[in-house]
Chain A
Amino acid sequence: MPDDECEVVLIKTFANPTRFLALIRWVMPTASVLAVALLAAGLWLAFFGSPTDYQQGQTVRIMYIHVPAAWMALFVYTSMAAAAFVGLVWKHVVAELYARAAAPLGAGFTLICLVTGALWGQPMWGTWWAWDARMTSVLVLFFLYLGYIALSDAFDDPQKGINAGAVLLIVGVINVPIIKFSVDWWNTLHQPASVTRMAMPAVDLSMLWPLVVMAAAFKALFVALACLRLRTEIQRRRLAVRQMQQAEHAA
């Protein structure tokens, strides 16, 4: 697909990101404040404001970090795939850069989920790891994140990295439900019933609140950090365009 005229390329590069940078200027501090507040509230509720489980005792509290982290891991990956699609088809600059900005954050949430899963599993089963359905799915999701980061960084031409990464995300997101289904099924057939799921206790209203608040807190945290990273990516690209212009005028 041939580039449009020089001017249009520059307009496309500058106009949208400028609007976004203005948006970021007020979204980021708002989200940061929200994140801190919600995290404080959520953690308080998790540790003090909710009952212990009669089976698992205090360790069930790890669930309040583990489960929202899992939700975030999936949510971020899906959002990356959606943005990648928009960026690939409509060549929207900010959409293209979103995946690169969000990838390390999504991978971070996945890692948090895996680590808290291990911390939760240890007192329950005496092992730091169990190949149960959720942990396996999250591990595979972690590999998908790492794969994306590796691929988008593997090209000398950054645009090729963005495009290839976008295709990988679209194919990956289609595969995520397939992977989840096959892992779930494989798990119920292979694992003894006691290890089938990270036994989530029957969710009581008092347990729902901390979960919801923590989920909201993670979302706000993600938005704040994503704004930060997106701003960096946009400015990096602006710098590249400016350098290109300088080279043209000098020639």
Chain B
Amino acid sequence: MPAAKRLFSKTLTLSDITCRRGGRVLFQNVSLTVPPGGIVHLTGRNGAGKSSLLRLIAGALPTAAGRVLWDGADISEMDREDYAQDYAFLPPDDRDLKLLETARENLLFWAMLWKIKTPDAAVNAALADMGLAPLADVPVRVFSAGQKRRLSLARLRMKQSALWLLDEPFNALDSHAADLLADALRAHAAAGGIVVLAAHQAPALAGVTALPLGAAA
């Protein structure tokens, strides 16, 4: 297999992060440096703060203490739109998919919003990569949970960002789709991208760093 071209080269640093939600401290003093090509697996009980940490890295949640650095720069000081270009977020469920629209229409909305060049081609490629090409013009209303998940993942890959923040990406996926996803993660890491994912089981990949969360950690 030819060596993957390095598309991305930025580093993610979590520096002494404390997260507080609803008055409770979820975790404290979390630090980690993730070089390009790193895959981080967040572990912990339900409610330990895995989803919160993902949102925190995305800048959607403020830190109670500590900083998130992207390529050395504090994300809270970066322009929101600039940073948003560099990361792609996968929510834990697929509620935001519009059921009355087709798969293609759902992706086209975001493709245009994200100013992706040649949106039609990008949408077709993304659907094909996740095995959804035959369902492209089917309304999402009739999709199974696994198919909706794959659609959200297709949207994420379409964005071609360096940093992937995935909340329960393997949920509802059958083994074939899970393999597709694992391949995608591997390829992304090989290209220098960074993956941070919250999942109950460790992904079947090599070189995954585990980051346990919880106030006791």
**Count of interface residues, chain B, beta-carbon cutoff 8 Å:** 11
In the complex, per-residue mask of A237-249: 1 if CB is within 8 Å of any chain B CB, else 0: 0001001100110
- Given the known interface contacts A1-B62, A3-B64, A6-B65, the answer about A251 and B25 at a Cβ–Cβ threshold of 8 Å is yes
A-side binding surface: helix, strand, loop or mixed? helix
Q: Are B25 and A3 in contact (CB under 8 A)?
A: no
* Chain B neighbourhood of A2, CB < 8 A: 62-63, 76
Report the separation of the CA atoms of residues A247 and B20 in the bound assembly, to the nearest whole angstrom. 11
The yes or no answer to A5 lying at the interface (CB within 8 A) is yes
Query: B176-217 interface mask toward A, CB cutoff 8 Å, 1 = contact, 0 = none?
Result: 000000000000000000000000000000000000000100
B24 interface residue, CB < 8 Å from A? yes
B18 / chain A contacts, CB cutoff of 8 Å: 6
Residue of A nearest to B27 (CB): A251
- Cβ of B23 under 8 Å from chain A: yes
Contact pick for B62, options A3, A243, A244, A247, CB 8 Å: A3
- Assembled-state Cα–Cα distance A244/B23 (Å): 5
Which of A3, A6, A247 makes the CB contact (< 8 A) with B23?
Answer: A247
Question: What's the interface size class on A, roughly?
Answer: 10 to 19
Distance from A91 Cβ to chain B, minimum over Cβ atoms (Å): 12
Contacting pair A247 B63 (CB below 8 A)? no
How far does the alpha carbon of A5 sit from the alpha carbon of B18 in the complex, in Å?
9
Q: How far is the CA of A248 from the CA of B25 in the complex (A)?
A: 6
Minimum C-beta distance from B163 to chain A (A):
18
Bound-complex Cα distance A3 to B18 (A): 11
Interface string of B63-84 (1 = CB under 8 A from A): 1110000000000100000000
Nearest Cβ in chain A — how far from B5, in angstroms?
35
**Are B64 and A6 interface neighbours, CB within 8 A?**
yes
Is the Cβ of A251 less than 8 Å from the Cβ of B64? no
In whole Å, how far is B11's beta carbon from the nearest beta carbon of chain A? 20
* Residue in chain B with minimal CB distance to A1: B62
**Nearest B residue (CB) for A244:** B23
A61 and B215 CA atoms in complex are apart in Å by: 67
Closest Cβ of chain B: how far from A155's Cβ, in Å?
13
**Contact A243:B23 (CB < 8 A) given known A2-B76, A6-B18:** yes
Chain A residues with CB under 8 Å of B24's CB are 247-248, 251
Q: How far is the CA of A1 from the CA of B76 in the complex (A)?
A: 7
Residues in B whose Cβ lies below 8 Å from that of A1: 62, 76
Spell out A's residues near B (CB within 8 Å).
1-3, 5-6, 240, 243-244, 247-248, 251
Interface residues, chain B, with chain A CB atoms under 8 Å away: 18, 20, 23-25, 62-65, 76, 215
7 A-B Cβ contacts within 8 A?
A1-B76, A6-B18, A244-B23, A247-B23, A247-B25, A251-B25, A251-B215
